[in-house]
Amino acid sequence: MERIKVLLVDDEVDFSRVLARRLERRGLDVLTASGADEALQALKKTSVDVSLLDIKMDGRDGIQLLGEIKRQYPETAVVMLTAHAESDLIISCMAMGACDYLLKPADIDEIVRKLKDAVSGYNNK
């Protein structure tokens, strides 16, 4: 099986760096972006299988970015990541096309499982 390509978008750069290394150790290829603009630039250059988006970010938040990804790159699966268990936000993200969500701090094995499930489920639609 080909390695899953992940775009990790979070404005907490240190968190992203650590999470990216942990995901890479588990066999995923990871690109990081610290915000929506950087994420969209990365997607113009490289196709990814799944994006892992933080909901709360400065500037355009993860919900706005989710909408843009779904419009511009509908083949890309999206998993939302949040430190805030706000059911309205999560329901809204799922209605907009997110495959799943994770609450910070999430267990690395759960993150990997949800990313893989998002890609396999999305490819089988």
Mean pLDDT is lowest, of 64-68, 102-106, 118-122, for: 118-122
**Position 107 pLDDT exceeds 70:** yes
Average pLDDT over the chain reads 92
The reported pTM is: 0.93
Q: Is the pLDDT higher at 1 or at 105?
A: 105
Query: Rounded mean pLDDT of 9-18?
Result: 94
Rounded distance, CA 39 to CA 16, Å?
Answer: 13
Distance of alpha carbon 122 from alpha carbon 125, whole angstroms: 5
Q: Which domains does the chain have, with CATH numbers?
A: 5-123 (3.40.50.2300)
Q: Which two tokens stand for residue 80?
A: 């939302």
Residue 122's pLDDT is 60
Backbone angles phi, psi at 58, to 5 degrees: -65, 155
Q: For residues 33 and 60, is the Cβ–Cβ distance under 8 A?
A: no
Write down the pLDDT at residue 15: 92
For residue 32, what pLDDT is reported? 97
